[in-house]
Amino acid sequence: MIKIGSALMDATEQLERERGIPKHVVLDSLCDAMMAAYRKYSKLHDTTGIYAKINEQTGEIGIYSEKIVVEQVTNEQTEISIEAATAIDENSKIGTIITEEVTPEENDQADTVTMDVPLLIRMMELAREEIKDDATLHHVAKKMIDLGAEGKTLDMEHYEEIIAELGLGDHEDHDEEERPGEMG
């Protein structure tokens, strides 16, 4: 499991209160992002039976794999032998489902991006309000990964760089401030 902390949980509740973004939408988005990173990390094309889950009480997120217990494994991604299953859970029987954590160890994680909470909130708002297609969203994610490659915590200065590159952002909000004498 990866500890994401109580600050993130607090931020999701704040987004729900102040911006009307339901907490579950934010948490589902985080799980989706974790799965995308896991697919890239693990080089899996098919992630059937694999999912991300956030424990809201502990502030941890993990990647889990569910496999059905079988006598003879024919698909290693979705099946586990009875021998291997009983090593995990001695009560395993043929046909039961075994859930196993497959979260990469912290020092094995590729493309980890660390950002401060205000940036996280603004990036979620940007995605909700201004990004209209998956290609642009993918570009933003790639830019964040590229900026975070040096291991620095991303902050609002990085946000400004991203929106400037995309021609997005607060330009509409500042139109009136930039031309106070103009009449509309």
167-184 pLDDT, tens digit each: 765 544 434 444 344 444
Please indicate, yes or no, if residue 118 is contained in any of the structural domains. yes
Name which of 166, 131, 158, 122 is nearest 21 in CA terms: 122
Expressed as residue numbers, the domain containing 168 is 113-172
pLDDT of 53 higher than 60? yes
Provide the pLDDT for residue 103: 83
Is residue 27 included in any domain, yes or no?
Answer: no
- Is there a domain that residue 132 lies in? yes
Q: What is the pLDDT of residues 3-31, one digit of tens each?
A: 666 777 787 888 788 878 888 887 888 88
Of 86-95, 103-112, 172-181, minimum mean pLDDT range = 172-181
In the chain, the number of structural domains is: 1
| pTM, two decimal places | 0.57
Q: Is residue 37 part of a domain?
A: no
Per-residue model confidence (pLDDT) at position 115: 63
| Per-residue pLDDT, 81 | 95
- Structural domain includes residue 164: yes
Q: What pLDDT sits at residue 98?
A: 93
Closest CA to 109 of 136, 145, 147, 137: 145
137, part of any domain: yes
- Return the H-helix or E-strand segment holding 165: helix 156-166
Give me the mean pLDDT over the 149-175 stretch. Answer: 65
